[in-house]
Amino acid sequence: MKVRDALRFVYDKQKKMFILGGIISLLDWDQKTYMPRKASTDRALQISLLSKSLHQLMVSDDLWKNIEFLTREKNVEKLSEEDRIVVERLRRDVEKARKIPTDFIERMSKAEATSYSAWEVAKKRSRFDIFCPHLERIVELKREYCGYINLEGHIYNNLLDDYEEGMRYERLKPAFEYLGDKLSRLLNKLESEKKIDLKLSKKAQERLSFTILKYLGLKRDRFRMDLSEHPFTTRLSTFDVRITTRYVKDKPLSSLFSTMHEAGHAIYELNLPKGRFRYTVISDAPSLGLHESQSRFWENIIGRNYSFWKFFYPILKRIEPALKTSVEEIYRYVNSVERSLIRTEADEVSYNLHIILRFEIETELLNGEIEVKDLPEIWNEKMEKFLGVKPKSDREGILQDMHWSTGDFGYFPSYTIGNVYSAQQFYAMRDFIDDLDAKIEHGDFKEILQWLSENIHRFGRIYTSEELMRRCCGEGLNPRIFIRYIESKYLDI
Amino acid sequence: MKVRDALRFVYDKQKKMFILGGIISLLDWDQKTYMPRKASTDRALQISLLSKSLHQLMVSDDLWKNIEFLTREKNVEKLSEEDRIVVERLRRDVEKARKIPTDFIERMSKAEATSYSAWEVAKKRSRFDIFCPHLERIVELKREYCGYINLEGHIYNNLLDDYEEGMRYERLKPAFEYLGDKLSRLLNKLESEKKIDLKLSKKAQERLSFTILKYLGLKRDRFRMDLSEHPFTTRLSTFDVRITTRYVKDKPLSSLFSTMHEAGHAIYELNLPKGRFRYTVISDAPSLGLHESQSRFWENIIGRNYSFWKFFYPILKRIEPALKTSVEEIYRYVNSVERSLIRTEADEVSYNLHIILRFEIETELLNGEIEVKDLPEIWNEKMEKFLGVKPKSDREGILQDMHWSTGDFGYFPSYTIGNVYSAQQFYAMRDFIDDLDAKIEHGDFKEILQWLSENIHRFGRIYTSEELMRRCCGEGLNPRIFIRYIESKYLDI
DSSP B47: H
Buried b (16+ CB within 10 A) or exposed e, A297-328: bbbbbbbbbbbbbbbbbeebeebbeebebebe
A-B interface: how many C-beta pairs under 8 angstroms? 102
Any domain includes A236: yes
Any domain includes B143: no
Any domain includes A323: yes
Best mutation site among A49, A56, A203, A222 for testing chain B: the one with the most B CBs within 10 Å? Answer: A49
Q: Contact A202/A250 with Cβ under 8 angstroms?
A: no
Classify B395 as helix, strand or coil.
coil
Q: Domain check: are B336 and B205 in the same one?
A: yes
Residues B16, A223: C-beta atoms closer than 8 Å:
no
**Average pLDDT of the residues in B248-272:** 96
pLDDT in tens, B8-57: 999 999 999 999 999 999 999 999 999 999 999 999 999 999 999 999 99
Q: Contact B86/B277 with Cβ under 8 angstroms?
A: yes
CATH of the domain at B375: 1.10.1370.30
Indicate whether B234 pLDDT > 80.
yes
Best mutation site among B15, B16, B43 for testing chain A: the one with the most A CBs within 10 Å? Answer: B43
pLDDT of residue A198: 86
Measured between alpha carbons, how far is B303 from A89 in angstroms, rounded to an integer?
Answer: 61
**Average pLDDT of the residues in B338-342:** 92
Residues A19, B49: C-beta atoms closer than 8 Å:
yes
d(CA B238, nearest CA chain A) in Å = 7
Any domain includes B172: yes
Binning pLDDT at 50, 70 and 90, where does residue B193 land?
low
Q: Domain check: are B254 and B385 in the same one?
A: yes
Q: Domain check: are A54 and A179 in the same one?
A: no
Best mutation site among A15, A29, A31, A34 for testing chain B: the one with the most B CBs within 10 Å? Answer: A34
Residues B39, A239: C-beta atoms closer than 8 Å:
yes
Indicate whether B190 pLDDT > 80.
yes
**Average pLDDT of the residues in B112-124:** 95
Any domain includes A141: no
Q: How many domains does one find in chain B?
A: 2
pLDDT of residue B491: 87
Q: Domain check: are A238 and A363 in the same one?
A: yes
pLDDT of residue A146: 98
Count CB neighbours of B289 within 10 A.
Answer: 28
pLDDT of residue A411: 97
Task: Enumerate the active-site residues of B.
Answer: 262
Maximum CA extent, chain B: 73
Compute CA B362 distance to the chain's CA centroid, rounded to the nearest angstrom: 18
The DSSP result for A307-374, as a single string, is: HHHHHHHHHHHHH-TT--S-HHHHHHHHT-----S-GGG--TTTHHHHHHHHHHHHHHHHHTSS-GGG
Indicate whether B191 pLDDT > 80.
no
Indicate whether B396 pLDDT > 90.
yes
Any domain includes B112: no
pLDDT of residue A192: 65
Q: Which residue, A99, A116, A146, sits at the end of a domain?
A: A99
Q: Which residue, B99, B119, B146, sits at the end of a domain?
A: B99
pLDDT of residue A195: 72
Q: Domain check: are A186 and A92 in the same one?
A: no
Residues A42, B236: C-beta atoms closer than 8 Å:
yes
Question: Least CB-CB distance to B237: which of A16, A26, A42?
Answer: A42
**Average pLDDT of the residues in B324-352:** 93
Measured between alpha carbons, how far is A65 from A76 in angstroms, rounded to an integer?
Answer: 14
Question: Chain A partners of B45 at a C-beta cutoff of 8 Å?
Answer: 15, 19, 237
Any domain includes B92: yes
Q: Domain check: are B163 and B95 in the same one?
A: no
Classify A135 as helix, strand or coil.
helix
Any domain includes A255: yes
Residues B50, A220: C-beta atoms closer than 8 Å:
no
Closest chain B residue to A278 measured between Cα atoms? Answer: B42
Indicate whether B94 pLDDT > 90.
yes
Q: Is the dihedral of CA A23, A24, A25, A29 positive or negative?
A: positive
Closest chain A residue to B220 measured between Cα atoms? Answer: A36
d(CA A149, nearest CA chain B) in Å = 32
Residues A237, B46: C-beta atoms closer than 8 Å:
yes
Q: Domain check: are A94 and A175 in the same one?
A: no
Q: What is the pLDDT along chain A (493 residues), one digit of tens a residue?
A: 899 999 999 999 999 999 999 999 999 999 999 999 999 999 999 999 999 999 999 999 999 999 999 999 999 999 999 999 999 999 999 999 999 999 999 999 999 999 999 999 999 999 999 999 999 999 999 999 999 999 999 999 999 999 999 999 999 999 999 999 999 999 998 866 667 778 899 999 999 999 999 999 999 999 999 999 999 999 999 999 999 999 998 899 999 999 999 999 999 999 999 999 999 999 999 999 999 999 999 999 999 999 999 999 999 999 999 999 999 999 999 999 989 999 998 999 999 999 999 999 999 999 999 999 999 999 999 999 999 999 999 999 999 999 999 999 999 999 999 999 999 999 999 999 999 999 999 999 999 999 999 999 999 999 999 999 999 999 999 999 999 999 999 987 7
Question: Dihedral of the CA atoms B285, B289, B291, B297 (nearest 10)?
Answer: -150
pLDDT of residue B113: 92
Q: Which residue, B99, B128, B145, sits at the end of a domain?
A: B99
d(CA B103, nearest CA chain A) in Å = 20
d(CA A39, nearest CA chain B) in Å = 5
**Average pLDDT of the residues in B173-179:** 98
Question: Dihedral of the CA atoms B52, B54, B56, B61 (nearest 10)?
Answer: 180
Closest chain A residue to B35 measured between Cα atoms? Answer: A240
What is the residue type of A87? Answer: V
- Domain range spanning residue B417? 158-493
